[in-house]
Every structure is written in C-alpha cells, then in structure tokens.
C-alpha cells in the first residue's frame, strides 16, 4: 500500500525549532518530487515547500523562507522539514504529500499523509 | 503569485442534486489545475488533475472543466459521502496556491 506517515509534531515555544519527518512506503521515494503543506486550525490548505528527487532543487512559500528547510534521505525513504524560529502563525497540521511531476500539465499532489500537528505557543 | 478564488464558499444541497463549484484564477494556470476533497479530520484527497482528468478510483460523477482563468468542478447526483470541503489548486508556478475552499453541506 502506498503510504506517507508524518511524525515529529508537538508543542514548541515561539522562537523554537522542530523537525518533522515523513516516512514513505509502497513506492520508490527517489523517483518523486515531494511536498509539505499545512492547514491552520479551521483554515484552508497552504503549500509550504517542494523538493526534487535528488534534493538539489527546493522551493518555499515566502512566509517560511529562511526559517524552514526541506530535505530528504532517499535511502531511508524519508522526507524532512526543519522548522526554526517558529512563530504562532506556524501553528498548523503539517502534511507531507507526494508530488507527481508529469510530462505535461498532469502535476498533482496525489498521495497525502495524515498530518502531524505543530503548536507554537508559550 | 496566482490567486485562486472559489465560489461559493458554502453550498447547501441534497443527496441526488448536482452542484458546480467555480475556481477563478488571477492569472491563467494553463491546465495545471487540480481539485481536492477533504472530509473533517481527514487528509485531502486528489479528485481531478490537469483541469479535467479524473484521478484513478474517483467516481465518474465528479468532473472538471475549464480553461483560461475559470475552472469548474461538477458533482452530479450527490451521494452522502460527497459532503465535504473542496479545494482547487494551481501547480503552474511557485508559490503553489489553493483556493479558500468550498464547504458542501447537506440541506
């Protein structure tokens, strides 16, 4: 079964750090771009970051640039999100998603994990 | 940035009805437009990609269409399990963006 499982969320004080992990199973992680997205309580979806298959190309939403780092370890079938200088507005359920990068316009977030909750509060 | 605006934000309908949700983009995303469904407490699920291609396993009562800056998701003959929140998403350019969501409720 194709599956993504996130972990590493929790309660952290403003200015603190947290590292999220996402473990993939049922498919070869190294052949896919991967993504992180988030959803604040009661709010809509927000894309956070993307990484290419080798980890050499990354993209971020402006609000996390310079604070968050997306990375991967294909040998461990794992995706990561290092979050530094956390703010209250980073409080959200963080999802990892498989990014299908098609040959045409058939790009999509086709597989989603169930998410891990990050709460930034003093 | 490509901004996506969905209408309506809330929709009330009955089982068996057909409904249409519209997604308007501030700039044309080409066909890099997807639709996702999210049920309470669950992860989003891909329904449609490339504006009109049905994801494998998704019932044929879901359909997508559109071009330019206006796209639609139509659900024909609503089933009880279709009551959820729907999001459009553009993957044409960074930052990848989502619409604000349309909550479909049972009348």
Tokens 């800056």 sit on residue: B69
Among A62, A108, A113, select the one facing B34 at the smallest CB separation.
A108
Q: Nearest CA of chain A to the CA of B31: how many Å?
A: 6
% chain A with pLDDT above 70: 100
Q: With an 8 Å Cβ cutoff, are A108 and B91 in contact?
A: yes
Q: What is the pLDDT of residue A103?
A: 81
**How far is the CA of A3 from the CAs of A22, A109, B32, B45, B81, in angstroms?**
10, 13, 24, 13, 22
Alpha carbon A112 to chain centroid, angstroms = 10
What does the pLDDT look like over A90-110, one tens digit per residue? 999 999 999 998 888 889 999
pLDDT tier at A27 (50, 70, 90 boundaries)? very high
What does the pLDDT look like over A50-99, one tens digit per residue? 999 999 999 999 999 999 999 999 999 999 999 999 999 999 999 999 99
What does the pLDDT look like over B35-84, one tens digit per residue? 999 999 999 999 999 999 999 999 999 999 999 999 999 999 999 999 99
Q: CA nearest B84: which of B65, B62, B69?
A: B62
What does the pLDDT look like over B38-47, one tens digit per residue? 999 999 999 9
For an interface test with B, which of A105, A106, A111 has the most B Cβ atoms less than 10 Å from its Cβ? A105
Helix (H, G, I), strand (E, B) or coil at A64: helix
Give me the phi and psi of B56, to 5 degrees please: -55, 135
Question: How many Cβ atoms are within 10 Å of B34's Cβ, its own excluded?
Answer: 31
% chain B with pLDDT above 90: 98
pLDDT > 90? residue A21: yes
- DSSP states along B52-74: TEEPTT--TTEEEEEETTEEEEE
The token pair at B29 is: 């995303």
């Amino acid at each position: 079964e194709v599956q993504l499982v996130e972990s590493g969320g929790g309660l952290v004080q403003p200015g603190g750090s947290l590292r999220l992990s996402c473990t993939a199973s049922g498919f070869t992680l190294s052949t896919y771009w991967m993504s992180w997205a988030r959803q604040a309580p009661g709010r809509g979806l927000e894309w956070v970051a993307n990484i290419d298959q080798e980890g050499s190309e990354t993209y971020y939403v402006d609000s996390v640039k310079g604070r968050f780092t997306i990375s991967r370890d294909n040998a461990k079938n794992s995706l990561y999100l290092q979050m530094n200088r956390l703010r209250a507005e980073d409080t959200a359920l963080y999802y990892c998603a498989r990014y299908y990068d098609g040959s045409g316009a058939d790009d999509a977030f086709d597989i989603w994990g169930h998410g891990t909750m990050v709460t930034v509060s003093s | 940035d490509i901004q996506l605006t969905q209408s309506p934000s809330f929709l009330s309908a009955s089982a068996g009805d057909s409904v249409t949700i519209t997604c308007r983009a501030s700039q044309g995303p080409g066909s890099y437009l997807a639709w996702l469904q999210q049920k309470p407490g669950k992860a989003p699920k891909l329904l449609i990609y490339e504006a009109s291609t049905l994801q494998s396993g998704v019932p044929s009562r879901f359909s997508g269409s559109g071009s330019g800056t206006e796209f639609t998701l139509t659900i024909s003959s609503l089933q009880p399990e279709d009551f959820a929140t729907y999001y459009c998403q553009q993957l044409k350019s960074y930052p990848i963006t989502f619409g604000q969501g349309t909550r479909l409720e049972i009348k």
